[in-house]
């Protein structure tokens, strides 16, 4: 019984080695070959479509697309043509933003969002608008910007965020801290609103 089991194991091993050697020789010949084997077409392919050179008839030179070798290396450019989601008042971020004027003629933005969210959105809006951000003080809610308005001789302004019920107010001050009720301040707020 042990002899037959041993004999069967030897037969299986010899068959395995024989096929492995044959497979190895085929691979070795393939890797050393300079000529690729001809393409074997399935039986259901219409042979009349092929020319003598093996190319498919009916494709003009203008329809052929050349492969850019760099296309395999460079990642494709991603273009986002989708419009930004807009809030009910037309703001880009979807946050409710309203430009208001108080009884003293001071313009301000009222943003219905948490103070931290408004801080982030104002900072992003400053970058998107192209203002030069010179300094900021988060604990006081102040951004200092450089902006040259054609109708105002100031070159620097302070943008202040103040916590309010239901959101935050955004005001424009002089760098000395005086609240500004000028057209330039209203234009700055309008530019910020368009990019929030």
Report the number of distinct structural domains present in the chain. 1
Question: The CATH number of the domain where 167 resides is what?
Answer: 3.30.310.170
What is the pLDDT of the chain when averaged over all its residues?
75
| Domain containing residue 189 | 97-194
Is 137 among the domain residues? yes
Whether 186 maps to a domain, the answer reads yes
- Per-residue pLDDT, averaged over 93-101, amounts to 83
* Position 149 in a domain: yes
| Whether the predicted pLDDT of 91 surpasses 50 | no
Please give the pLDDT value at position 23.
58
For residue 51, name the pLDDT band (cuts at 50, 70, 90). low
| Beta bridge mates, 133 | 145
**Residue 32, domain member (yes or no):** no
- Has residue 145 been placed in a domain? yes
**Residue 53: per-residue pLDDT:** 53
Confidence of residue 150 (pLDDT cuts 50, 70, 90): confident
Q: Give the mean model confidence (pLDDT) for residues 53-75.
A: 48
Q: How confident is the model at residue 83 (pLDDT cuts 50, 70, 90)?
A: very low
Kindly state whether residue 178 falls inside one of the protein's structural domains. Answer: yes
Q: Is residue 106 part of a domain?
A: yes
**What is the DSSP code string of 42-85?**
-TTS-GGGB-TTSPBTT--TTT--PPPGGGGTSPPPP---SPPP
The pLDDT, as a whole number, for residue 195 is 87
In a domain, 168, yes or no: yes
Whether 175 and 157 have beta carbons less than 8 Å apart is answered as yes
Q: How many residues does the chain have?
A: 196
Question: Model confidence at 5, in pLDDT bands (50, 70, 90)?
Answer: confident
Q: What is the structure's pLDDT at 129?
A: 86
């Amino acid at each position: 019984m042990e002899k037959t089991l041993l004999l069967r194991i030897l037969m299986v091993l010899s068959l395995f080695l024989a096929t492995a050697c044959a497979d190895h020789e085929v691979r070795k010949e393939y890797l050393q070959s300079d000529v690729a084997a001809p393409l074997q077409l399935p039986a259901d392919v219409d042979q009349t479509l092929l020319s003598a050179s093996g190319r498919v008839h009916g494709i003009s030179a203008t329809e052929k697309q050349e492969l850019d070798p760099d296309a395999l290396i460079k990642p494709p450019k991603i273009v986002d043509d989708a419009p930004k989601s807009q809030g009910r008042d037309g703001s880009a971020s979807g946050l409710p933003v309203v430009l208001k004027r108080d009884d003293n003629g001071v313009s301000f933005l009222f943003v219905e969002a948490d103070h931290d969210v408004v801080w982030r959105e104002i900072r992003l809006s400053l970058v998107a608008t192209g203002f030069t951000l010179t300094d900021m003080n988060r604990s006081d809610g102040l951004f200092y910007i450089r902006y040259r308005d054609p109708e105002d001789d100031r070159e620097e302004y302070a943008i202040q965020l103040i916590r309010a019920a239901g959101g935050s107010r955004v005001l424009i001050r002089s760098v000395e801290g005086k609240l500004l009720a000028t057209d330039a301040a209203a234009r700055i707020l309008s530019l910020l609103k368009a990019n929030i």
